[in-house]
Structure 1
Amino acid sequence: MEPSIHPTVVAAIIAAVVSFLVSKATLHLGRERLDREFKLEFSTEIAIGALLDSGEYDMRTFDRIKAYLPGFDSDNELRRLLIRSGGVSFKRESDGAELWGLLEKHRGQAFK
């Protein structure tokens, strides 16, 4: 007489294998999504840093930065990325405009 495997055991093994495969696929897709999001965010920070570091101007107005980098849902989202990119904010005394520059270029002014 051949030993037989109970149908419940076979069903449990199949369920475990399917569950493992689904979990692995879900994890892979989630990791790909996070990689895309971080890559976009990192690229944006690089672009902001290059914008603040280039040209003859040490500072740029927030409105000018928004014009160069459209597509943000809110101004505060762009401000957070400016800070993460090494930016610091100043207020121009003559007209109250919001100016942004790199901390490394304005370290003395930033902490007055």
Structure 2
Amino acid sequence: MEFCPTCGNLLLVEHAAAGRSLRFFCPTCPYVFPIDRKISNKLQVKQKEVDDVLGGEEAWKNVDRTEAICPKCTFRQAYFMQIQIRSADEPMSTFYKCCNHNCQFQWREG
């Protein structure tokens, strides 16, 4: 993508009057730039850090245990918390975290 140095709009590509050559042109101002060679520019995109929607490890500190079977290690106890993630007329979603310290698998129900 190239941008117009005059007004900042995205430049479009068109065939020049000669027919075989290409050029950039600005759709809002009279800026034109002939393309006489291959133009490339690599930009490494920095990925955003993703926040834990459940609040991270801090959210699991004061939760209760229940009898639930872990789908990963079949341990029979899990921590749980209920959160309203949809509209108010929908039921709450229950999130589980395996109590087995070697597993700590998290899953959701509902």
By the TM > 0.5 criterion, same fold? no
Instruction: Pick the TM interval, shorter chain.
Output: under 0.3
> Which structure has the larger Rg over C-alpha atoms?
2
- Normalised to the residue count of structure 1, the TM-score between the two structures is 0.26
Q: Judging by fraction of residues, say which structure has more helix.
A: 1
Q: Which structure carries more relative contact order (alpha carbon 8 Å, separation 6+)?
A: 1
Q: Judging by fraction of residues, say which structure has more strand.
A: 2
